[in-house]
């Protein structure tokens, strides 16, 4: 909120005020001195959500909207990079639909990861599973990474690290390889959803849920009023 907007609010409320009063000669000068029956100092604070936070919030809403009508069960958490795009959302949900169906199979994994890596080949896809110490068997469904390696969200890593895995490509090809040459937990990716079995219709949550009263815990703007210690040359 700007000082001009705050001044307009005081005027509308009938509160007399002085902006940055020049009779304050020492100490912290407030944005406003509001006089009247109960005088007070006022500092205007801008609590607008940062631009990057707004983009991530919008990206999550898009993912939630795209997954809200899935006729599949499960529960997922989203991990979103600041370079996320609408194209990434479309790719990810396509991968997620295929991945969630695996929970109905006799050899279903304990968790799935739908992933769009950095600089992906969006026309080809890969699937592979790794054994982990904390998440059981985790199956990855991803666009092909041009680097040949895949980032891993939520602290998911192969245990043992050098276990042999089978990569299954959308072209029909298969390849046996050591997991340490494929999964890189610290590698950046564009977007991912980590999902687990759940009896109800699929639902999506942010990576780190915050204040759910408004989804962020951040208000759009406010005026904070408080007592301040100053030295004044003014006499009443």
Is the pLDDT assigned to residue 102 strictly greater than 70? yes
Q: Is 126 domain-assigned?
A: yes
Report the 3 state secondary structure along the chain. CCHHHHHHHHHHHCCCEEECCCCEEEECCCCEEECCCCCEEEEEECCCCCHHHHHHHHHHHHHHHHHCCCCCEEEEEEEECCCCCHHHHHHHHHHHHHHHHHHHCCCCCCEEEEEEECCEEEEEEEEEEEECCCCCEEEEEEEEECCCCEECCCCCCCCCCCCEEEEEECCCCEEEEEHHHCEECCCCEEEEEEEEEEEEECEEECCCCCCCCCCCCCCCCEEEECCCCEEECCCC
pLDDT, tens digit (0-9, with 9 covering 90-100), for 78-93: 999 989 999 999 999 9
Confidence at residue 47, expressed as pLDDT on a 0 to 100 scale: 52
Is 211 a domain residue? Answer: no
Residue 123 lies in domain? 51-205
Residue 212 lies in a domain: no
User: Model pTM?
Assistant: 0.67
Least confident of 39-43, 115-119, 205-209: 205-209
pLDDT at 58 over 60: yes
What total number of domains does the chain contain? 2
Check whether the bond before 160 is cis (ω within 30° of 0): yes
User: Based on the domain organization, do 75 and 92 belong to the same domain?
Assistant: yes
pLDDT at 222: 35
Kindly indicate the confidence band of residue 11, based on its pLDDT and cuts at 50, 70 and 90. Answer: confident
Residue 45 has φ and ψ, to the nearest 5°, of: -115, 135
Beta-bridge partners for 203: 75
**What is the Cα–Cα distance from 5 to 3, expressed in whole angstroms?**
5
Residues 110 and 162 in one domain: yes
Q: Does 55 share its domain with 167?
A: yes
Q: Would you say residue 35 lies in a domain?
A: yes
Among 1-10, 109-118, 174-183, 187-196, name the one with the lowest average pLDDT: 1-10
Both 84 and 164 in one domain: the answer is: yes
Whether 229 has a pLDDT exceeding 70, the answer reads: no
pLDDT digits 0-9 by tens, 24-46: 777 666 778 788 778 877 777 65
Specify if 96 maps to a domain. yes
Q: Same domain for 142 and 186?
A: yes
């Amino acid at each position: 909120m700007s000082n001009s907007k705050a001044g307009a609010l005081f005027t509308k409320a009938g509160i007399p005020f002085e902006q940055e009063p020049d009779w304050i000669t020492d100490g912290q000068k407030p944005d406003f001195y509001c006089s009247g029956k109960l005088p007070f100092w006022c500092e205007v604070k801008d609590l607008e959500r940062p631009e990057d936070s707004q983009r991530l919030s919008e990206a999550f809403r898009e993912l939630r909207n795209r997954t809200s009508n899935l006729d599949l069960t499960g529960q997922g958490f989203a991990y979103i990079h600041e370079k996320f795009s609408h194209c990434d959302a479309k790719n990810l949900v396509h991968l997620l639909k295929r991945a969630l169906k695996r929970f109905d199979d006799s050899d279903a994994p304990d968790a799935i990861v739908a992933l769009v890596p950095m600089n992906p080949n969006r026309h080809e896809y890969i699937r592979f599973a790794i054994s982990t110490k904390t998440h059981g068997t985790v199956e990855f469904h991803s666009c092909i990474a041009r680097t040949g390696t895949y980032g891993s969200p939520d602290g998911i890593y192969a245990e043992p690290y050098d276990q042999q895995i089978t990569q299954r490509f959308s072209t029909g090809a298969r390849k046996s390889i050591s997991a340490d040459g494929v999964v890189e937990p610290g590698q950046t990716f564009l977007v991912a959803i980590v999902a687990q079995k759940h009896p109800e219709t699929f639902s999506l949550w942010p990576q780190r849920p915050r204040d759910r009263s408004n989804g962020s815990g951040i208000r759009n703007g406010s005026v904070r009023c408080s007592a301040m210690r100053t030295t004044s040359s003014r006499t009443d």
